[in-house]
Amino acid sequence: MASVYDFTAETIAGAARPLSDYRGQAMLIVNTASKCGFTPQYEGLEALHEMYAGRGLAVLGFPCNQFGAQEPGDAAEIATFCSLTYDVGFPMFAKIEVNGENTHPLYRYLKHEAKGVLGTERIKWNFTKFLVDRTGKVVARFAPTAKPESLRPAIEKLL
């Protein structure tokens, strides 16, 4: 696979969505959870979406229940939570796995392209963020502790 555009993911509504739909846009891809200490980052992610969508940034959320079972709900519960609690307007996708045997192919690619601390590929926790440029190349990986607003300089460089 040459870029993230070669992957398809299921939306939270259950439809297949090729990431090639985002061709020409920068992307911030985040594994999310509704019951995590980092869950308030939805607010910052939505702020980035509102600030930069018109300039070509797509924020994409991928719920994951692999860390402390902090995303136990089904798609409808997750969508309702995101909408009612954080007024999320950016695209949300179906719950996936980001580590292990059943890692979603997109995340297998992201982790390979932007390794973590000491060259590890494993996602450490919810709200790990991957920044992708307008050509579909993964350019940065940010830890769960990185607040969305701290990514603005890196995002600005891509826009």
**Which residues, listed in sequence order, are joined to residue 63 by a DSSP beta bridge?**
32
Please, which pLDDT band fits residue 1 given cuts at 50, 70 and 90? low
SS3 letters across the chain = CCCHHHCEEEECCCCEEEHHHHCCCEEEEEEECCCCCCCCHHHHHHHHHHHHHHHCEEEEEEEECCCCCCCCCCHHHHHHHHHHHHCCCCCEECCEECCCCCECHHHHHHHHHCCCHHHCCCCCCCCCEEEECCCCCEEEEECCCCCHHHHHHHHHHHC
Radius of gyration of the chain (CA): 14
- The CATH class for the domain spanning 4-158 reads alpha beta
Report how far residue 106's alpha carbon sits from residue 104's, in angstroms, rounded to the nearest whole number: 5
**Which residues, listed in sequence order, are joined to residue 16 by a DSSP beta bridge?**
10
Amino acid identity at 52: Y
Q: What's the pLDDT at 116?
A: 84
Checking if the pLDDT of 151 tops 90, the result is: yes
Q: What's the pLDDT at 87?
A: 93
Amino acid identity at 61: G
Q: Answer yes or no: 36 catalytic.
A: yes
Checking if the pLDDT of 25 tops 90, the result is: yes
Q: What's the pLDDT at 65?
A: 96
pLDDT above 70: percentage of residues in the chain? 99
Q: Which residue has the tokens 């940065």?
A: 140
Q: What's the pLDDT at 118?
A: 80
> What is this structure's pTM?
0.95
Catalytic, out of 4, 26, 36, 98:
36
Q: What's the pLDDT at 2?
A: 75
pLDDT tens for 74-117 read 999 999 998 889 999 999 999 999 999 999 999 999 999 999 87
Per-residue pLDDT, averaged over 115-139, amounts to 92
